[in-house]
Structure 1
Amino acid sequence: MEYDFSSSWDMDDEYEKLIRRMNPPRVVIDNEVSKTNTVIRVDSANKHGILLEVVQVLTDMNLIIRKAYISSDGGWFMDVFNVTDQDGNKITDEGVLDYINKSLGADSSFLPSRRRSVGVEPSKDHTSIELTGTDRPGLLSEVSAVLTDLKCNVVNAEVWTHNTRAAAVMHVTDEATGSAITDPERLTKIKKLLCNVLKGSNKTRGAKTVVALGVTHTERRLHQMMFADRDYERCDDDTLDDKLRPNVTVVNWYDKDYSVVTIRCKDRPKLLFDTVCTLTDMQYVVFHANIDAERPEAYQEYYIRHIDGSPVNSEAEKERVIQCLEAAIERRVSDVRLFPNLRFN
């Protein structure tokens, strides 16, 4: 029996809108309580994924989250973020402060539907190409050559490599028209040729190419793509020094039915987004968290349960959580540029 998921999603969206109207988000921005940070407090009705959505807004504004305190135990979500700009200064620009209020407050749209969080939004400007495959020297040059031969212009792209795997989100246009590519036969040819390049000589791991007329949050999508590609499974010949690996632990607090995830690693921009994104995509709910990134070593502590209400139940599950968080932290290590207009992390 077929099930109409679009109808279900629409019902969910309408329910979220109703809850939002009854309990609109409240944002308080304070530049007086801390000598060094701007303090942003967000109170809202709770739902799965809301923490990621708030962190995503702040991260996309290039704000540095120095400290954070999260509590969402029950029907209400309360977050406090201590943030600065890229230079370590408080946020004083009225335009930026107003944008934060609008992005997170009662008039915001930071609660996207499920379709938007994992899919694409229509765009007439470009075609989005998602690639996953085995990393190897010269791979990006080969992808570039194929797209050039197919008369595709790469507008921008972001590529991550980790643990012998590669993932990319590319936005391309038709070389002749400068618009999105819509011809089905041409899109099928692009997918086929790129997939052949990504497969290479690897017979044990596959490759995947997805073409869509739209856009999505690129970094969130890259996390999802590499997670689906199981880049967290380390190779037998992985020689990375244990001292260079993030220190991730998972222990159960049986009295409260929480699993406590603790992360200690070198701090860097977007670290909080990367770890929260991974926990969310693994279907874990963060009930409480304490984040401290004011030192060279970042400290993150999460009190989580699975979306079904259970803590981490087995050693195998615990190991998988650790591996996935390590991978999420390590994915931004590479920094390779191929096209003048592209971003590579």
Structure 2
Amino acid sequence: MEYDFSSSWDMDDEYEKLIRRMNPPRVVIDNEVSKTNTVIRVDSANKHGILLEVVQVLTDMNLIIRKAYISSDGGWFMDVFNVTDQDGNKITDEGVLDYINKSLGADSSFLPSRRRSVGVEPSKDHTSIELTGTDRPGLLSEVSAVLTDLKCNVVNAEVWTHNTRAAAVMHVTDEATGSAITDPERLTKIKKLLCNVLKGSNKTRGAKTVVALGVTHTERRLHQMMFADRDYERCDDDTLDDKLRPNVTVVNWYDKDYSVVTIRCKDRPKLLFDTVCTLTDMQYVVFHANIDAERPEAYQEYYIRHIDGSPVNSEAEKERVIQCLEAAIERRVSDGLKLELCTTDRVGLLSDVTRIFRENSLTVTRAEVTTRAGKAINTFYVRDAAGNPVDAKIIDSIRQVIGQTILQVKGSCEHSKSPSQESATRFLFGGLFKSRSLVNFGLVKP
């Protein structure tokens, strides 16, 4: 007798919908129980990935999660978050509180479209380009130059590097129409040329370019791309001091058939999202968790099982969990001096800016590119190409060319990390040669 698996999946999906209608998510927001934090409690029918969905909503709102208590044994999920805004204050804005309720409560029901936001969905606004390849000096400058030559405008982009690998999600529009690029032949050409740039001369590791009309949750997609690219595998020449790595341990609690994952590392925004994202995509279920990020050092404790119900059951699996969580934490660490560029958007802006950095021997370790109402708001983390703290004179000369008010320094050159504290990979956009005057790029008048 032949079994209809598709029918079974449909029945499971209908059953899940029924359970949700009978037990809709419930959100309680309390500003009285804590002197310093807003407390958000979420109760819901349980399913794999629900913790990540909740954390993703809070993180996307730029809320800082100070503490969290998670329990999801059986068919019910309960989570309590202590959160503040980015300035460390309680959330008192009624509009924000209402949005939290709508995003997490019964009205949202964690719609399937939200759950699949990491995939590709149709979009008329832009074309999504996903890039992975070997990290090297000048890579983003080359990629953005190719896109400019192909009459594409980069409206949003985020680029991460880790352990000799680079990944980027870029949203581009057609220069002529300002909308998504739909011509199949043109898309094929874009994919081919970008893949050639990513491959470079490296024959040992591959490169990948995906071009689609779609919407992605950029940060989760970057985690997935780098995980698939196995950036967690340490290189023989990985010189990062073990003392600087996140402290990740995995032990089995045999009485309860749980594996207990403990993480201690320097706290930073979105740390919880990064670790929960990785555990979820590695097909582990978080049954209980205790999160404390109220000190400079964050503490995370997860009680997990694999989705098949088993704990971590071998030394090899244990080591892989540790390495993958370390990588997830390290990917977002931003070495170097933070620069913010704000100016009127135009085609080729990203290419010009990264070329200026490259020709002044600066390396960009991470980048975020956004466009809002015709304005480009770009953030770059830069270092000296040799891995040394940035020379203030170089930054001053670049700012004089681009414009003192257009390019702002967020931090001090003297406080850039020393070379011994940098990640294993520090090259993405850097350059070695200064070939012509910066004024030629036309960002500002000389």
The 1:218–1:305 alpha-carbon spacing in structure 2 relative to 1, beyond 3 Å, is same
Q: Is the 8 A contact 1:123 1:213 kept in 2?
A: yes
* CA displacement 1:271-299 (0-9 Å, x = unmatched): 00000000000000000000000000000
SS in 1 for 2:260: strand
| CA drift at 1:112 | 3.0
| CA drift at 1:323 | 0.2
Mean Cα deviation higher: 226-235 or 109-118: 109-118
Mean Cα deviation higher: 119-128 or 74-83: 119-128
| CA drift at 1:200 | 1.1
The 1:6–1:136 alpha-carbon spacing in structure 2 relative to 1, beyond 3 Å, is farther
SS in 2 for 1:47: coil
The 1:339–1:205 alpha-carbon spacing in structure 2 relative to 1, beyond 3 Å, is farther
Mean Cα deviation higher: 295-304 or 146-155: 146-155
Q: Is the 8 A contact 1:157 1:171 kept in 2?
A: yes
- 2:439 and 2:77 map into 1 onto residues whose CA distance is 42
Q: Is the 8 A contact 1:140 1:338 kept in 2?
A: no
- 1:11 and 1:124 map into 2 onto residues whose CA distance is 33
- 2:39 and 2:440 map into 1 onto residues whose CA distance is 35
The 1:97–1:267 alpha-carbon spacing in structure 2 relative to 1, beyond 3 Å, is same
| TM-score normalized with structure 1 length | 0.93
Structure 2 partner of 1:341: 440
SS in 2 for 1:148: helix
Identity of aligned residues (%): 98
Mean Cα deviation higher: 7-16 or 76-85: 7-16
| CA drift at 1:148 | 0.7
The 1:152–1:146 alpha-carbon spacing in structure 2 relative to 1, beyond 3 Å, is same
Q: Is the 8 A contact 1:41 1:78 kept in 2?
A: yes
Mean Cα deviation higher: 1-10 or 282-291: 1-10
| CA drift at 1:119 | 1.0
The 1:53–1:305 alpha-carbon spacing in structure 2 relative to 1, beyond 3 Å, is same
Structure 1 stretches lacking a partner, 5+ long: none
- Aligned CA-pair RMSD: 3.9
Q: Is the 8 A contact 2:290 2:300 kept in 1?
A: yes
Q: In the alignment, does 2:207 pair up with 1:108?
A: no
| CA drift at 1:7 | 7.7
- 2:325 and 2:104 map into 1 onto residues whose CA distance is 27
Structure 2 stretches lacking a partner, 5+ long: 335-435
| CA drift at 1:93 | 0.7
- 1:49 and 1:39 map into 2 onto residues whose CA distance is 22
| TM-score normalized with structure 2 length | 0.73
Q: Is the 8 A contact 2:126 2:172 kept in 1?
A: yes
Residue-pair matches, total = 343
* CA displacement 1:53-81 (0-9 Å, x = unmatched): 00000000000000000000100000000
Mean Cα deviation higher: 144-153 or 279-288: 144-153
The 1:43–1:112 alpha-carbon spacing in structure 2 relative to 1, beyond 3 Å, is same
Q: Is the 8 A contact 2:118 2:221 kept in 1?
A: yes
The 1:287–1:343 alpha-carbon spacing in structure 2 relative to 1, beyond 3 Å, is farther
Q: Is the 8 A contact 2:27 2:104 kept in 1?
A: yes
* CA displacement 1:309-335 (0-9 Å, x = unmatched): 00001000000000000000000124x
